[in-house]
Structure 1
């Protein structure tokens, strides 16, 4: 199926990790994709890869928490494709693990800027165009927005904000034909959840897996599949939804993942050919504070 045939989508934070997978999935489903990321992210490589596999995409680098870059990103969609149907607010950061009394103020400020301000600014300036196309917004929530997150309480707080923001936008914008939803991942196989590439230590990494009934990380492609559904016309009656894709961690009690046999812990192979799923924290300073 090409469920997004003829649609134009912006995906923020699409140079690596989940965003890269969403950009590839949307292109495979027929969308024309504006691939956003920082200038040091492999955005051009993602665009080239999409084109190599027969999709259509254009790069737009910039920090979308800043108005000028958000406007540039939206204008790129209009200049290149003459409309905007889908906005995916995927951009965000996970920069430190520390108990709240030790959490650095500068990291707190940066987390709010990248996780919240980016989504607000992009939504604000995209809405006039989405109202014209009866389009939709899909935002990166998290199971941490339901459950909180020890050792990174500000991150969980930003996702709780995102959940409430999206529900408000969904109600407010329904009269214009615009839908808004969240995909809410658990631990996903990206740089964020590995001690070698992110701020989690070995204990936190182990606890994430053991608390998940499926006893494994999700893949970026599994989240991209959820996002593609929410963005498609198949979800025409879905708005204001917080769509959990967390391996069951939100409904679990205790280390239930230990009960799952090894043969059920294997990640699915998937179909998307992704090159940058583990590079989401490259060129970013992370901290593990004990």
Structure 2
């Protein structure tokens, strides 16, 4: 495959799950990839895997809740590879499960700081780097961005916000040739999904799977394939959209 040949991509939350799968697909498609994550050992392992397949990648340790880190991430991509064409803003956290009244202000700010403000921090600098030549940005929202998520009010609010941010920015930057979309994963086999399941009411994950059309959890690669398509020229007429990748849970 060579649909991204010569492109430069950033992936946040790239050390595991959907981010890791996307980074590998980007590299296999011909892109140079900046693997960004807070976990250096796992992130460096993704870089090594890409290099082992003949691709080009570098690791950057990033906490997306820090605007300084996000600015440095984009600058590192430009310094190393000369430009920025693609960004997959995927880093996120689930937080704890509790009634809304018990979520707590500190927890609320932490969840929104990573899941929503973190994407905003990244986009500010990505957009500036892309304005001269265009590009594609994909943000990770969630099924919790389009439906209720009981006992996860902060998480749901952050993911609803991601969709609003995505659609608003798409309206602004289409004239610069920048396409901006979001994906909304359902139950996908990731460490964060396992963490949420463990903290939730027993049987709740099983209930979600039973309510979906396909009645199974998704693989990270299945979500990453959608990201790859959205970032490629095959999706050249697609912007301002949010795509469900949830096995039919929200159908």
TM range (shorter): over 0.9
Count, aligned residues = 251
Measured after TM superposition, the shift of residue 112 of structure 1 is 0.5
What is the distance in 2 between the residues matched to 1:59 and 1:201?
Answer: 37
1:7-156 matched pairs, under 5 angstroms: 7-40=7-40, 42-156=42-156
Secondary structure at the aligned position of 2:203 is classed as helix
Structure having the larger proportion of residues in helix = 2
Secondary structure at the aligned position of 2:76 is classed as helix
The runs of 5 or more residues in structure 2 that have no matched partner are none
What is the distance in 2 between the residues matched to 1:150 and 1:160?
Answer: 14
Larger Rg: 1
What is the distance in 1 between the residues matched to 2:208 and 2:134?
Answer: 38
Secondary structure at the aligned position of 1:180 is classed as strand
Measured after TM superposition, the shift of residue 68 of structure 1 is 1.4
Measured after TM superposition, the shift of residue 38 of structure 1 is 0.4
**Contact (CA 8 Å) 1:192, 1:200: kept in 2 or not?**
no
What is the distance in 2 between the residues matched to 1:223 and 1:126?
Answer: 22
Measured after TM superposition, the shift of residue 102 of structure 1 is 2.2
**Contact (CA 8 Å) 2:209, 2:249: kept in 1 or not?**
no
What is the distance in 2 between the residues matched to 1:67 and 1:153?
Answer: 24
Measured after TM superposition, the shift of residue 133 of structure 1 is 2.2
The 1:187–1:114 alpha-carbon spacing in structure 2 relative to 1, beyond 3 Å, is: same
Paired residue for 2:246? 246
Paired residue for 2:222? 222
Paired residue for 1:269? none
Measured after TM superposition, the shift of residue 199 of structure 1 is 2.6
**Contact (CA 8 Å) 1:130, 1:178: kept in 2 or not?**
yes
What is the distance in 1 between the residues matched to 2:198 and 2:133?
Answer: 39
When the two structures are superposed, what TM-score results if normalisation uses the length of structure 2? 0.95
The 1:195–1:127 alpha-carbon spacing in structure 2 relative to 1, beyond 3 Å, is: closer
When the two structures are superposed, what TM-score results if normalisation uses the length of structure 1? 0.83
Secondary structure at the aligned position of 1:166 is classed as helix
For residues 9-64 of structure 1, the C-alpha deviation after alignment (integer angstroms, 9 at most, x for no partner) is 00011111111111111111111000000045611111011111222110000212
Measured after TM superposition, the shift of residue 175 of structure 1 is 1.1
Paired residue for 1:165? 165
Measured after TM superposition, the shift of residue 209 of structure 1 is 1.3
Secondary structure at the aligned position of 2:199 is classed as coil
The runs of 5 or more residues in structure 1 that have no matched partner are 252-290
For residues 64-95 of structure 1, the C-alpha deviation after alignment (integer angstroms, 9 at most, x for no partner) is 22121111101110111000001111011002
